Structure 1
Amino acid sequence: MSGNFKTPNSSALAVVLLMLGVVLMRPSSVVAREHDPCQFFPNNTVIRDPDDCSRGLTCINFESVVTKNCTGSKAFFDKDKKDCVASLSDHSLCQISCVNATGTFVQDPKTCYGYYYCQDESWARHGTCPDTYHFDFATQSCIYSHVSNCTVKELNFCAIVKDNEKFNDPSSCEKYFVCKKGKLNNESCKDTYYDAVKGECVQKSKVNCANHPVPDKLCNKKSNVYVADGATCRGRFYCRAMATNYDTNPTWSQCPENRFFSEKHQACVEPMLSDCTHDRCESRNKTFVVSPTKGCRHYLHCVNGISEGEYPCGNYFFDEEAQACTTRIIEYPVCAA
């Protein structure tokens, strides 16, 4: 990119730099964002800052932390090498040119509010305009966003994260994204849910799911009834009566704590009356609960509402009310032989 504007004198330049905020972010500082890209990535994932190609971010608890700040002759952060480099070859929209533009500002191609100050032809420093402002190349200044003509494309995740790094797809608890050869792929966990913190597929009960997937044809031949969600003991979908076909977008809800949903009774019932075979520790205030294993001779150890293991009573039965193994014959619906 070539510039045909005058170079500011040194005193004016200092004022402009101060007003436009051309400062270098120190490592380990948290980036405050309205839409933080790290909201999708598991802990310790390293990405390139989508708003600043000179910065490397580490995702911690879904927030961006600046851990690499590239300057001088190596002014770009390489998402694959996870280090500072002189140039990038991945067509990431990071490439700018300071040729014939020393002492001036050039547009950041990724954002409307970003810009680069060309300290010389090989050294660019990144800056951003204040909130509600956009950078205007023609006037070499920040202008109100409502008078700006700038538009920016949707974020390309594969331009900021290394291939094969899993990250969250918030549309469904079983889904996640992964980039392969620079292309975004949507993948799903099998019989498990994606843990957005750990970046792996885990037992469904260990994920605080907000978007349970609707099983295929769940509401087929069903209308105005609740159907178990197939993932939890409390969750259910409501299948509405439709004029044609069946409800393909049923509404999910769940029973109160210490109650399980019963399709048979179309109601929330005492857990001991339910035949649900999913994690029976869910929302329970008990340390031990009966296991779904047939015979009622096994129990689950509950820790924070999640099953942490199954244990046998030997030739005895497990009494959930007494929280102990007993010789008395027990036949709960979930484990009755």
Structure 2
Amino acid sequence: MQAVRGVLAVFVLALVGIVSGGKMISDFPKLSVQQMCELMPADTSFLRPHTCNYWVRCPANNTSLEEGTCAAGLNYNKDLGRCTMAANVDCPYSKDSISTTDNLCANETDGTFLADNSSNDCKGYILCKARRENKSNCPNNLIFNPTTRSCVYTNQYRCPVNGAKTKSPACLSLPNNTRLANDEHCEKYYICVDDILYERECSDQSAYDVVLGRCVSALNATCYSTAKLPPPENTFCTSMGKPKVGYFADDESCSHYYICGDTVNGKHDTNPQHLQCGQGLYFDYEKLSCRERLNVRCTLDRCADTSLTYVNVLGDCQAYARCSGGATVGSGRCPADYYFDERSQGCTPVNHNYVACAA
């Protein structure tokens, strides 16, 4: 029963992603030509969906969006980018091709789940909402079972081997190899190859530039308006460009430390554990352990992560710092021949030679 709960929980998360992820692509034939052009590189020309002779040219630089129709007896050839004799053009929206754009949700009630036949790995499914198709993919290692209409583990349903791939409504009107922006993830994009839609992802530290139609440095990419860049890669577990493994002090906190895991395929740990020692303890990077704060040398503000009013100061055992709100707000010094004792919160004639205040 626990396994079933896991599947359902993950499936619910998948449904949340339907709201925005890939919605522009699934609704592509229903978008305005302006919205279509926003997904494509500048100066792209294409056939307007559900027509055979209506063409659109997306704006580039200072030019405006342009639309037009072919003269009588001519149809628009999307791959040649011009009008040619109708008899010589295979229009994707002719009567013989209409079935490829049928709306599977036209007669379904809200909340109905259907298999996405354009998915060749059984991960894709369709959620019917307001009689419209909302496409998404099962998360992680799950696949869609059309019988139970749910995402299940691979040992619960065998994906049929099918060499044929369904043409995508988003690609029918576009020239071969046209790229489309992903409306949710800036590091991803789509490409139409022989009317079939494929998802692609840029390499590390790169993102898809919707204007240029290619992957560029993430710092310079013009993302689609609703697409977001992934958070910067955590590079703590690298040093001079090389991976590091083990326990390391946090350079911004005396009480925190990191654990860098083993490399995977030569790649450093991008998700190291970030842990904190208990109250009154600091991380000792030499002994790789959490120790009493007075026994650990720390070059940062020793007022942080403590409720003490006064603390010892590194480099001078007669001096002390006054704390407020976890930060140093003042300082003082014990009389001659007296030393500050953080434990007793006062000056004493005994020098305990704490590591925390040693020079």
TM-score by length of 1: 0.35
Greater helix percent: which structure? Answer: 2
TM-score by length of 2: 0.33
